[in-house]
Homo-oligomer: A and B are copies of this chain.
Amino acid sequence: MASSILVTNDDGVYSIGLKILYDAVERLGDVVIVAPETPKSASGLGITLHKPLRLERIEYWGLDIYTTNGTPSDIVYLALNQIREKIDIVVSGINIGDNTSIQVILSSGTIGAAAQAALMGIPAVAFSADVQEPDELGDPVYAAYLTRITRLITSHILSRGLPEGIDLVSVNYPRRIGPGTRAVIARPAKIKYEQRVEVNVDPHGRRYYWLYGRIVDPEPGTDVYELKVMRNITITPITLDLYPVNTDSIDELRVLEELVTRDLSRSSSG
């Protein structure tokens, strides 16, 4: 039986990245595309619980696509409950803008969709490119490279599954790809941006604040460094197990168990 593949993104149905991702995986199985009707960047793993969602079927890029007002995370659940009985792999992207560093990974909608799939036990890969404009992503030569490498990676993970303890994989493409471009496994940097605030005054005389990020110097070996400085394709395995491995550190925190429990037990007499 053909593999069941869900293609999604967070830039929305009109992003060329969705089309490139579809082209990459279409021959690998039975593909369904479900995308946000408008961009949902920085939605992280947000789920929509307090309002109704829509699911429409449109034709775009010459493809049959479901669109929704929901987030990339919502899409995983809508697809599993309403469209497919079973999904073998979720691929998300190709995002306009890279998703490197833990800071960015945790707030990315592209990776959010992959993470939700991972929580359901479905292998997932998020793809992002270090470009700023749709035109850069859509450049025919560049897009052909993306299609080819994305297919190779998806095909490999679809047939082998993800190694134990790896919940999902995030792939970032450098701005230029050619015959000499290398692919490397890279650990995520902690932060990519130092957040700053610009203060200004609106036409009504009221002050406003605008957040912006200044890229910090990346540490060698991190995804940010390998992508931005070395211009490699970075492959970042991610675990969602948020529990620390350092048992000494956890034991150090255990003193709180006793402190709190003892304090409460005394409250009867006090």
B-binding residues in A (CB < 8 A)? 42-49, 52-55, 70, 73-74, 77-78, 81-82, 102-103, 105-107, 112, 115, 119-120, 145, 148-149, 152-153, 156, 163-166, 169, 177-185, 187-188, 190-191, 195-197, 199-200, 202, 206-213, 233, 235-246, 248-250, 252-257, 259-261, 263-268
Q: Does the CB pair B244–A53 fall under 8 Å? A: no
A119-B191, A246-B165 known; A107 vs B45 contact (CB < 8 Å): yes
- Taking the nearest CB of chain B, how far is it from the CB of A223, in angstroms? 10
Q: Does the CB pair B264–A197 fall under 8 Å? A: no
Q: Does the CB pair B53–A208 fall under 8 Å? A: yes
Q: Does the CB pair A202–B259 fall under 8 Å? A: no
A254 / chain B contacts, CB cutoff of 8 Å: 185
Q: Does the CB pair A264–B73 fall under 8 Å? A: no
Q: Does the CB pair A47–B53 fall under 8 Å? A: no
A249 contact from B145, B165, B250, Cβ within 8 A: B165
- Taking the nearest CB of chain B, how far is it from the CB of A252, in angstroms? 4
A202 — nearest CB in chain B belongs to which residue? B52
A196 — nearest CB in chain B belongs to which residue? B81
Q: Does the CB pair B53–A210 fall under 8 Å? A: yes
- A164 vs B165: C-alpha distance when bound (angstroms): 22
- Taking the nearest CB of chain B, how far is it from the CB of A201, in angstroms? 11
A49 contact from B42, B73, B206, Cβ within 8 A: B42
A109 — nearest CB in chain B belongs to which residue? B46
